[in-house]
Amino acid sequence: MKSRFRHVALFGKYHATTHGSALEISRKVLEEMVHFLERQGVEVVLEHDTATHTGLTHLPTLPRERIGKECDLGLVIGGDGTMLGVGRQMAQYGLPLIGINQGRLGFITDIPIQNYHEVLQPMLQGHYQTEDRRILQAQVVRDGHSVFDALAMNDVVVNRGGTSGMLELRVEVDGHFLANQRADGLIIATPTGSTAYSLSAGGPLMHPVLGGWVMAPIAPHTLSNRPIVLPDSCAISMEVVSGRYASANFDMQSLASLMIGDRINVKRSQHTVRFLHPEGWNYFDTLRKKMHWNEGGY
């Protein structure tokens, strides 16, 4: 059967400092993936930075903005961090993404690299499940002007400097005062991000189709200050009241330094990230495997 996808882009796992055996493994995996896709009758391109850092510049390449406009599927080979970066950049184009796990956890890159051939082939022929995940739009406002703007698939985290004292944030939800939070920081997490930093701060696990955000304090001064789940239709605002060297992190991949009086405004983005999963994929299977539930059970 012919692939239902005409033009597929490959996004690889790389770092500017990657070298030696790790880089060679990434290069071999990508080359093998290109040949596999071409045998399925698919036109394949490598994302430009992936090709540059892995030395595969002899293969067809496109920059990310052209991939979003010209391709109809993206294959992300790496870990969840790789998928977070690609997901944010491709969200505005609606490009569906399939994750091939070459990392460790793999909550959102759910196809093992070892058997991608047998899993991908039916997916390319149209046998897959579609899942849209909501993401956050965040903005840092200083003196009434936006100084930083970012999307986040996992979370927006406001935290104190490494050597400074406690951070105080005035938190509002839809313009209504919620509380002055005194803590090491505050996490606003999506359902996707509920298995990330928010989880280690005591936040709940949320099914990815739920329409809500988790607000979880980091090491709060008041022990009654607990995580809360808010509807994703609300707008959240955090104003820095006190605390030196504070910063706002977006998926822990981009960062903005904060000053007293800065406001971090968070709301639902108009875009979503579309994942394609193999037929029969189930979120609870992923949780059970990645969280090591029932190990040793029957």
Q: Give the residue numbers marked as catalytic.
A: 80
Sheet with strand 254-257: strands edge to edge: 228-231, 212-218, 185-189, 155-159, 247-250, 254-257
CB 291 within 8 A of CB 199: no
**Angle at the Cα of 252 from the Cα atoms of 246 and 258, rounded to 5 degrees:** 20
Tokens, residue 66: 């052209």
Burial of 213 (C-beta count, 10 Å sphere; 0-12/13-18/19+): buried
Whose tokens are 């977006």? That residue is 250
Q: What type of residue sits at position 80?
A: D
Q: Element (H or E) spanning 247, and its range? A: strand 247-250
Other CB atoms within 10 Å distance of the CB of residue 180: 12
State the Cα–Cα distance between residues 107 and 104, nearest whole angstrom: 9
